[in-house]
């Protein structure tokens, strides 16, 4: 079998100082003509970030390692009461958030009433369908008088030219939270620095973050169905052999679903840009790593180990994996717990486990950070004295971490009204909770993520140790932390490669077609886009009207 190894001559440069999250960068690209306002101010702005002062009301069984998710094997016997009295001063404010579910009533809602009373501030929600939230945001932000006092903006819904408009609508929180000023709000100070970067624009802090996981994706295998003695792969060649060995067409069993995530992680394919040895910008589609990943995935498909429905891009990949039709699949890390919930009640032997990170050449792996915050919320400018401080006090309450009474209230409502505690001290929702307790406050700001899903023995340990083991190999990609909105004329440059990846994997096109596509990319705007990013890298102005 051909040896798959990293291409020679590729080194990753030191990463720029970060401000913001790459997830927002990706979400903004392709919007209307945009800019990086004062990009020279965006590099090296750590001085205006809030200090990170960890607070630990309850000691985790599995502490965080270099930003990995901490884990709790048991729920505390008693929840810590952080606030002796409501921190608010009785103000009333409107709040705009998305929701992917049934919108709850705002009047007579015991959940909203209880949280608002505990905060000491009346927050009236304006909840919109999450599926159309981006359109709603664009319309509202176009008319500042209609903007709520507190607005959540998911990373994928950041409007075009938001960097230009943010200062005209929302409050610059830098004077309130920079450096040690955040320590007036201990739970906000507990939020990791990277998450704050996701909410910065033009060198200033405007938003309050909802932190995410350090690692978002993994490749899972059915540990309960592996033949006895099967060894896990340690390089790209072994990964091919591992998946192929699990295929048995006569038994209607295939090795895997699509494993493009595994391919990009094994070959350390950069999310967007890197630099060569001379410091020149190189796009991911121009890298040897990208080419090697495509060659590997094409070899996997050609082996016949991929389920026919995955080849045809039809059916449900989760169902194929959970039913045992395939034994290896890639997915988001959040899917792990969800799968246990679906399968363990009927199949107590069900076990999925993540592969340890694999380097293509068998050496040290390297993967790249995604966005450190999935959402940021913003406070509308106001002349009302004390309003921003009151809302920040509310945010400090809402950011109370796991193990506190405040966390229980914000996430689950009132005990014996909206939930009861089971034998594991986990909340069991009441019938009323289905109507009243929908995700709302949690979309405004949040504490660092933890794993306390204790109902499945061993899961917390498996999850947190896997991520802790991966943490030393997670690096920041180039431009990590910069809020970059690409001009509109470059919006469609990447689409041909998404299609090409699928075609090459399935043998419909070859790596020669990749060469042609890269050349077309360069002549159709890629070189101009490279210059745009080079100007940002150099600290110059990259403003454009998008025409």
Answer yes or no: are the C-beta atoms of 183 and 315 closer than 8 Å: no
Answer yes or no: are the C-beta atoms of 211 and 448 closer than 8 Å: yes
Q: Are residues 223 and 358 in the same domain?
A: yes
Is the pLDDT reported for residue 247 higher than 50?
yes
State the average pLDDT over residues 435-460.
95
Is the pLDDT reported for residue 1 higher than 50?
no
For residue 205, the cross-strand partners are 200
State the average pLDDT over residues 416-441.
95
User: Which are the contacts of 295, defined by CB distance < 8 A and separation ≥ 6?
Assistant: 4, 511
State the average pLDDT over residues 491-520.
95
Residue 482 lies in a domain: no
Q: Are residues 75 and 194 in the same domain?
A: yes
Is the pLDDT reported for residue 37 higher than 80?
no
Backbone φ and ψ for 205, nearest 5 degrees, come out as -95, 120
CATH code (residue 309): 3.40.190.10
Per-residue pLDDT tens for 226-239? 999 999 999 999 99
pLDDT for the residue 8: 33
Residue 395 lies in a domain: yes
**Lookup: tokens for 343:** 């399968």
Domain boundary among 445, 474, 503: 474
Query: For strand 450-451 and strand 352-354, is the pairing parallel, antiparallel, or unpaired?
Result: unpaired
**Lookup: tokens for 457:** 């023995």
Is the pLDDT reported for residue 176 higher than 60?
yes
Q: Are residues 250 and 187 in the same domain?
A: no
State the average pLDDT over residues 263-271.
97
Is the pLDDT reported for residue 10 higher than 80?
no
Q: Are residues 233 and 160 in the same domain?
A: no
Is the pLDDT reported for residue 513 higher than 70?
yes
Q: How confident is the model at residue 13 (pLDDT cuts 50, 70, 90)?
A: very low
Domain count for the chain, please give it: 2
CA distances from 221 to 202, 239, 248, 443 (A): 44, 12, 16, 32
Q: Are residues 96 and 190 in the same domain?
A: yes
Answer yes or no: are the C-beta atoms of 154 and 133 closer than 8 Å: yes
Domain boundary among 474, 497, 523: 474
Share of the chain above pLDDT 70, in %: 90
State the average pLDDT over residues 204-226.
95
Domain boundary among 474, 502, 525: 474
Q: Which of 20-29, 43-52, 203-212, 424-433 has the lowest mean pLDDT?
A: 20-29
Is the pLDDT reported for residue 322 higher than 60?
yes
Is the pLDDT reported for residue 355 higher than 80?
yes
Mapped onto helix, strand or coil, the DSSP state of residue 262 is helix
Per-residue pLDDT tens for 120-129? 999 999 999 9
Q: Are residues 409 and 356 in the same domain?
A: no
Is the pLDDT reported for residue 21 higher than 70?
no
Mapped onto helix, strand or coil, the DSSP state of residue 507 is coil
Q: Are residues 308 and 171 in the same domain?
A: no
Q: Which of 16-20, 425-429, 485-489 has the lowest mean pLDDT?
A: 16-20
Q: Are residues 203 and 267 in the same domain?
A: no
Q: How far apart are the first and last CA of the chain?
A: 50
Is the pLDDT reported for residue 31 higher than 80?
no
State the average pLDDT over residues 246-262.
94
State the average pLDDT over residues 359-380.
94
pLDDT for the residue 136: 94
Residue 432 lies in a domain: yes
Per-residue pLDDT tens for 129-149? 999 999 999 999 998 889 999
Is the pLDDT reported for residue 385 higher than 80?
yes
CA dihedral 465, 466, 467, 470 (to 10 degrees): 120
Residue 483 lies in a domain: no
pLDDT for the residue 540: 52
**Lookup: tokens for 200:** 């910065």
pLDDT for the residue 484: 80
Residue 86 lies in a domain: yes
Is the pLDDT reported for residue 382 higher than 50?
yes
Q: Are residues 49 and 159 in the same domain?
A: yes
Residue 547 lies in a domain: no
Share of the chain above pLDDT 90, in %: 80
State the average pLDDT over residues 96-118.
96
Residue 7 lies in a domain: no
Q: Are residues 229 and 337 in the same domain?
A: yes
State the average pLDDT for the chain.
89
Residue range(s) defining the domain that contains residue 451: 35-209+371-474
pTM exceeds 0.75, yes or no? yes
pLDDT for the residue 492: 87
Is the pLDDT reported for residue 6 higher than 90?
no
- Say how many C-beta atoms besides its own lie within 10 A of residue 465's C-beta: 14
Residue 387 lies in a domain: yes
Q: Are residues 139 and 82 in the same domain?
A: yes
Q: Are residues 357 and 380 in the same domain?
A: no
**Lookup: tokens for 104:** 């709850």
pLDDT for the residue 26: 30
**Lookup: tokens for 527:** 């070189």
CA distances from 91 to 80, 116, 148, 170 (A): 26, 10, 14, 18
pLDDT for the residue 46: 75
State the average pLDDT over residues 176-185.
97
pLDDT for the residue 227: 93
Residue that wins the pLDDT comparison between 292 and 161: 292
Q: How confident is the model at residue 181 (pLDDT cuts 50, 70, 90)?
A: very high
């Amino acid at each position: 079998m051909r040896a798959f190894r990293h291409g020679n001559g590729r080194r990753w440069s030191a990463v720029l100082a970060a401000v913001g999250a790459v997830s927002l960068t990706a979400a903004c690209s392709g919007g209307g003509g945009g800019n990086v306002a004062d990009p020279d101010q965006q590099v090296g702005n750590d001085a205006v970030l809030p200090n990170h002062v960890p607070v630990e009301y309850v000691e985790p069984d599995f502490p965080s390692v270099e930003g990995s998710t901490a884990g709790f094997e048991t729920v505390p016997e008693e929840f810590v009461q952080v606030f002796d009295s409501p921190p608010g001063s009785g103000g009333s404010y409107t709040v705009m958030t998305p929701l992917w579910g049934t919108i709850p009533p705002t009047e007579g809602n015991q959940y909203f009433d209880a949280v608002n009373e505990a905060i000491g501030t009346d927050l009236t929600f304006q909840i919109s369908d999450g599926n159309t939230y981006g359109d709603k945001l664009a319309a509202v932000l176009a008319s500042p008088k209609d903007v709520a006092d507190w607005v959540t903006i998911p990373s994928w819904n950041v409007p075009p030219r938001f960097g230009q408009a943010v200062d005209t609508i929302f409050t610059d929180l830098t004077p309130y939270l920079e450096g040690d000023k955040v320590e007036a709000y201990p739970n906000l100070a507990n939020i990791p620095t990277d998450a704050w970067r996701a909410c910065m624009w033009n060198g200033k802090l405007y938003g309050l973050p909802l932190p995410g996981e350090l690692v978002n994706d993994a490749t899972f295998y059915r540990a309960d169905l592996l033949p006895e003695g099967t060894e896990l792969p340690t390089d790209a060649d072994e990964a091919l052999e591992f998946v192929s060995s699990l295929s048995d067409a006569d038994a209607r069993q295939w090795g895997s679903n699509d494993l493009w995530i595994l391919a990009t992680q094994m070959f350390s394919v950069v999310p967007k840009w890197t630099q060569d040895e001379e410091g020149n910008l190189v796009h991911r589609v121009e890298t040897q790593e990208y080419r090697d990943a495509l060659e590997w995935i094409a070899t996997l498909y050609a082996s016949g180990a991929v389920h026919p429905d995955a080849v045809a891009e039809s059916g449900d990949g989760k169902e194929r994996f959970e039913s045992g039709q395939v034994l290896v699949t890639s997915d988001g890390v959040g899917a792990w717990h969800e799968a246990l919930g679906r399968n363990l009640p009927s199949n107590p032997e069900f076990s999925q486990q993540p592969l340890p990170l694999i380097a293509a050449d068998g050496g040290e792996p390297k993967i790249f950070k995604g966005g450190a915050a999935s959402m940021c919320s913003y406070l509308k400018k106001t002349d009302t004295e004390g309003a921003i401080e009151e809302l920040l006090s509310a945010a400090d309450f809402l950011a109370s971490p796991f193990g506190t009474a405040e966390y229980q209230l914000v996430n689950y409502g009132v005990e014996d009204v909206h939930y009861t505690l089971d034998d594991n001290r986990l909340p069991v929702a009441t019938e009323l909770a289905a109507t009243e307790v929908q995700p709302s406050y949690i979309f405004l700001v949040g504490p660092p993520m933890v794993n306390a899903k204790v109902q499945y023995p061993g899961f917390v340990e498996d999850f947190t140790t896997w991520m802790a083991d991966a943490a030393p190999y997670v690096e920041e990609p180039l431009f990590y932390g910069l809020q970059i909105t690409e001009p509109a004329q470059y919006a469609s440059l990447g689409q041909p490669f998404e299609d090409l990846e699928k075609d090459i994997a399935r043998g419909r096109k070859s790596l020669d077609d990749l060469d042609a596509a890269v050349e077309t990319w360069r002549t159709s705007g890629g070189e101009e886009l490279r210059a745009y990013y080079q100007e940002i890298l150099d600290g110059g102005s990259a403003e454009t009207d998008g025409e």
